[in-house]
Amino acid sequence: MSTKLPLTTPLAEDNSLFRDLYTRMLRQIQVDAHNVVGVTSSVDGEGKTTIAINLAITLANDHGLVDSGKRSGEILIVDCNPGTVGTSQGLMVESIPGLIHYLRNQYPVDGIVKQVFLPRLWVMPVGSSPFDFSPLIRTEIMKELIATLRERFEVIILDLPSILTTTDTLVLAGLADQILLVVRSGVTPSAVLGQALERLNRDKLAGMVLNDYHRPLPRWLEKAV
């Protein structure tokens, strides 16, 4: 088993930190073909969608560093949050049709995967009303979809619901090879984080991302400003 990632503290404006984040997962992506990465959090509001989007953008920009030669070099982010439009809105694409429409056999894969403003970055929105999302993701169709996407895309990022909000997260996390857990600095109680970790498959946990962390200025710098 690979060494687990330590807490990483990314900033949206600094892609080098997201580059550091994915670089530590490259062996499993390139050698073990563990190219489905789930991004989740303990509860809502910890910034997991922002982390997932920035990670996908950095991977798409750095395709030459990520490409294992086994797939297309293209990156896909899948919105698995029914009833929200955060991923599609953040990447400026229409929120429908999407994943739910595919699982209902209403659209083919090519009809729900949309290219965004970067040449190698694609998004699959979650789609329309969420009332049947839970049963649909528990079908063989969902498993077959992930298998199809594995062969088409270099890396698939699943923007998952928060762990303590719904049991759907554990179902979807079971389809991923690696899991990143986002923790908002100064907000997520340790007891809540502990509950989330208890529910996750720890063998898949690639690491935790400490979001919205602001390092204190060194004393010498404080005096200079």
Comparing 129 with 23, which gets the higher pLDDT?
Answer: 129
Is it the case that residue 7 has pLDDT exceeding 50?
A: no
Helix axes 48-61, 15-23, angle to 10 degrees: 80
pLDDT recorded at residue 4: 39
92: left (phi over 0), alpha (psi -120 to 50) or beta: left
Can you tell me the mean pLDDT for 142-151? 95
- Please compute the mean of the pLDDT values over residues 196-217 and round it to a whole number: 75
Q: What are phi and psi of 209, to 5 degrees?
A: -110, 115
Mean pLDDT over 43-64 rounds to 83
- Give me the chain's average pLDDT, please: 79
Domains and CATH numbers, the chain: 15-210 (3.40.50.300)
Q: Which residue has the higher pLDDT, 54 or 147?
A: 147
pLDDT, mean of residues 34-45: 87
With CA atoms as reference, report the closest residue to 201 among 155, 156, 163, 147. Answer: 163
For residues 94 and 114, give the distance between their C-alpha atoms in angstroms, rounded to a whole number: 9
The model's pTM: 0.81
Q: Which of 2-11, 16-25, 81-90, 109-118 has the lowest mean pLDDT?
A: 2-11
Greatest CA span in the chain, whole angstroms? Answer: 63
* Strands (E) located in 80-203: 114-115, 121-124, 155-159, 178-184
Q: Please write the tens of the pLDDT for every residue from 66-118.
A: 555 555 679 999 999 988 777 777 887 887 899 999 999 989 999 999 999 88
